[in-house]
Structure formats: C-alpha cells, structure tokens
Chains A and B, each alone.
Chain A
C-alpha cells in the first residue's frame, strides 16, 4: 500500500506543474478521505494524498468540468473509475482531450472488497501499482444460480429494505440525466415509506443502467439498506455482452448499444424481441 502511495505521489508531482489540477483523494479530519483537486499553487497538500477507500471521482470530475470545460486536468482513477470516465465521454458528459489519466491499479484485498472482475486500467498511459487479475464474485454467482421464483423472492426481500434515499442514483457516475425517471410520480410515488412498489424504483434503475453500469459498486457501498444491487447490474452486463458484444469502458471506439442504429436483420443477430 505505502509503495503505491509513494509512486502515486511521484506520478502526480511530475504532471502537476503543467496542469490546472490533479483530481485525487485527500485524507481529511479523522483520516476521512474525500476527492480533492491538487494544484501547483498548493503542492504541500500532497502530504495528505490518500488512495483508499475509493471515492466516486468520475462524478467529481464532471462537476469540475461543467464549470471549467477547458481546464487541463489529470485524474487518478482505478479500473472502474476509468470505465466510468470512458462511458461518460461516450455519452458526451465530458471531453478527454485535456484530460490525463493516471491509472491506479487495485490490490487483491481491494478487488475482493469490490468482487471486481477488472481491477485494472486499460487506457491510462501512466500506471501506478501492478495490475492484477480479476477476482470471483460469489454473490452474483449465487443469485445467478437461483431459479426464477427464488430470484423473485430474493429481490423482493432485498428491495423491501429500501429507504428511498436516492443514494445509488446520486453517487452513480452513469446517472447524469437532467430529468430523472425516478423523480417522476408515474413510476415512483413520493412522500411514502416504505414504498408501495419498491421494485419499481430498482427495476427502472436497473433498466437505465443497462450497458452503462461500470461495476464500480459505489451504489452498493452507499446503500444504507445494504441492497446488493451491483449483482443485478452485473447479470444484465453479461446479457449485454452476449447480445451486443459490448463491455463498458473497454473499447474507446465501440459505440454503446443505446447509441446504435441497428440495420434491418440485425435484430435477429442480437436476439432482441421485435
């Protein structure tokens, strides 16, 4: 861990003088970590550079770039965060021309914490740490092996714990719509807890995460009810891979399925109902 921190420190120091800032994590009061924009004006802040726990930095980057579209920035990103940035780019949420990616490779305990299949970056030119293989996701396998009625019972029970904090939506790097279906009274009733139909909220979100979820697991981490929602996003991601051969964050040139216009006949190939 400390070796990686030293290497990261050096990598940031190297690019900092030429940029408007480097977005990374900083340790604050009580050792609590949060995203921070390191600047050449205050290099001494780098003494508080941190790497864990990971934070939703792609979302922070978007906030900064919306106010400063021409800023020259670097961002320290893990594999999932890099995927988040790539997908945000594909959906026109940010530009990559002025952005330097510093890829922080996850260690085994971190990958296991996230049940992560890809704890490494693939696009970043600067790499900190050694890339490792992905780890298994026992929970997703367990749910995947359930029968349909068992799955229904499992998710019904999980969703009933929801306190509708909207944290999963708020923290998600891929939730950037200006108008959110989850705030539409048609789908999600306001002013009532527990929700009359908790699966409405979660299934609407699952549908909207199709071919978008980058498996960062920020939603699961922030959920006060411990709903393992990354599991259904991952199962959907398997279908998306099978149907469209699309993996989020992987190929910079490949268009996401939402932006594809299918030619006649292609529907058969993708197996979509038509």
Chain B
C-alpha cells in the first residue's frame, strides 16, 4: 500500500512560528510544503523553512554526546558529558564569577525548555547573559 500524507508542524528554525507540512511518503520524510491557509505564514516560508526536513535524517547529525580527549572527539555517555559540563561551569563560576558565562538558547527547543534554560542561567549560575540562536 502506498502511503502519502502531510504532517502539519511549526518551523523549528526561528521564533516567527511559520507553519509547514512535512511530506511523508511510505513513512519516510521526503520534503516540505508550506501551509497555505495558516494565519502566521500564509503559504510562505524562508529558505530555512523550505529545508527544514534536511537535517532530520542527515548523516552528520549528532545523536550522541562527544567529548574531546587528547584533541580528538570521542563518543561519550550523557552522564559523562553532563558531569563534565557541570564541573567546568562550576569551576569557571568560582574562579571568574557568574558573568563570565553566557547562555545561548535555541529556537529548536520548546518554550518550556527555553524557560528552563534562562531560569538555570539566572537562578543557578546567577547571570543575565542569556541570548538566542536566531540572533547569532
């Protein structure tokens, strides 16, 4: 049985909130179509939205944490990676103060994840250095 459908979703790239359809053929993501009668994007997309399907199954996409050891990136477990980040952040904060750290959040995350990020920056680390990938 041939299966073709479109899955309505929101573009992951910036905060505008354009709607797009992910074209799914036989359960495989094959492309993007804009959503015509959507209130925000009204059938249009920018070049990033038009290519929003490209990274999903891309071979270069990272799906495991990597830690640089002796100059080379090596696969690590999430526990190892998070511990390393926590130790280093803690050390930098102690040595140089909380404003020596900045937090860059992402439009690919949900509102709630972004909220947690700024909460962590402000309440745990103690800095207002919070910015966003769409301004990089």
Contact = CB atoms under 8 A, between A and B. Distances in A.
Tell me if chain B binds chain A: yes
Interface of A: 20-21, 23, 26, 28-37, 39, 41, 53, 55-56, 60, 63-64, 67-68, 71, 163-167, 170-171, 221-224
Nearest to B38: A32
B51 to A, nearest CB: 9
B8 A165 contact: no
Contacts of B37: 31-33, 53
Interface residues of B, number: 27
Contacts of A67: 2, 25-26
Contacts of B2: 20-21, 37, 39, 64, 67-68, 71
B98 to A, nearest CB: 36
A37 B5 contact: yes
Given A28-B8, A55-B36, A222 B44 contact: yes
A115 to B, nearest CB: 17
27 contacts: A21-B2, A26-B5, A28-B6, A29-B8, A32-B36, A34-B21, A35-B4, A35-B33, A39-B1, A39-B2, A53-B37, A55-B33, A60-B4, A60-B23, A63-B4, A64-B2, A67-B25, A165-B49, A167-B34, A221-B43, A222-B34, A222-B43, A222-B44, A222-B45, A224-B44, A224-B45, A224-B46
A36 B1 contact: no
B3 interface: yes
Nearest to B22: A34
B35 interface: yes
